[in-house]
Structure 1
Amino acid sequence: MMVSTRGRYALRVLIDLAEHNNGAYIPMKDVAARQEISLKYLERILPTLTKAKLIEGVHGKGGGYKLTRAPEKYTVGEVLRLTEGDLAPVACLSPEAEPCERAAECRTLQMWKGFYNMTNKYFDGITIADLTRTETADNYVI
């Protein structure tokens, strides 16, 4: 599974909003500057986060975005499934996949199911709050 820029940037936006939460709406230009992400690119991610009610926004003076719940209430799995679609490692495990004719005799299906379950469990066990407490790896940016 490869996580796209969209998924990585969505996590960075949520972490930034959590770290700079003072109860007020945070201008996205501030987040873009801190995260070194183009505002134009962020503006393509924000509607997805807003529609899913992960963030809320207000336009105009004093406007910006903020989290809709405590950072402990967001899991990385939730964010990645929203931005990446399903985290299935193979097409046959995707929820919208047609039933596979070879499933009954597939030698690798259980392995892929195990990997899929492990991936979801791992990402569902990490919250945005956890990531705000994680030490940075030098200047490595996800």
Structure 2
Amino acid sequence: MKISTKGRYGLTIMMELAGKYGEGPVSLKSIAEKNELSEHYLEQLVAPLRNAGLVKSIRGAYGGYILSRPPEEINSGEIIRVLEGPISPVDFTEEDDPAKRDLWMRIRDSIAEVLDSTTLAHLINYQDDGQHDSYMFYI
């Protein structure tokens, strides 16, 4: 499964709102400028997030968007599903080989577990500890 710009930019919107949670509404214009994104595109993405009840819009001169729940209560899986649809690495059917079907289901479930256990609070409070597994190639 490849997450498109819809999912990535939608997560950006939500992280920006989470970072300002409790401080009042945030305009899409400010999010677009800070992240060098198209305000028009962000407007298209925020509509399904609002319809899903993840954000609320505030009208007026100092309006914008706020999270509908605290950042600790919104996980990245909710956001990705709203913008990308169901999480699945491949479309598999009953006719598929059972071993392959089991593999695809385990991959799907692993992706869902990571997304569903990662809240907006985790994302905005992320600290890089430098303890990443990485590969060094020598030629």
What TM-score does the superposition give when structure 1 sets the normalisation length?
Answer: 0.84
Instruction: Give the stretch that moved more between structures: 26-35 or 66-75.
Output: 26-35
Cα distance in 1 for partners of 2:120, 2:36 equals 19
Q: Equivalent residue for 1:95? A: none
Q: Out of 100, 103, 125, which is 2:117 matched to?
A: 125
Query: In the alignment, which residue of structure 1 is the partner of 2:55?
Result: 55
Corresponding residue of 1:26:
26
Q: State the 1:107 CA deviation.
A: 3.0
1:45 positional shift: 0.3
Q: Percent identity?
A: 30
**Residue 16 (structure 1) shift:** 0.5
Secondary structure of the structure 1 residue equivalent to 2:99: coil
Q: 1:110 aligns with which of 89, 92, 102?
A: 102
For 1:107 and 1:26, the matched residues in 2 are separated by 48
User: What TM-score comes out, normalization by structure 2 length?
Assistant: 0.85
Distance in 2, matches of 1:87 and 1:33, equals: 30
Give the Cα separation in 1 of the matches to 2:106 and 2:81. Answer: 18
Paired residues for 1:31-110 under 5 Å: 31-92=31-92, 100=94, 102-103=95-96, 105-110=97-102
Superposed displacement of residue 135, structure 1:
3.9
Give structure 1 stretches of 5+ with no counterpart: 93-98, 137-142
The 8 Å contact of residues 15 and 123 in structure 2, kept in 1 or not, is answered as yes
For each residue in 1:71-112, what CA deviation from the matched residue of structure 2 results, as whole angstroms up to 9, or x when unmatched? 0111111111111101111212xxxxxx53x25x53311111
Structure 2 spans left out of the alignment, 5+ residues: 129-139
Name segments (4+ residues, structure 1) moved above 3 Å: none
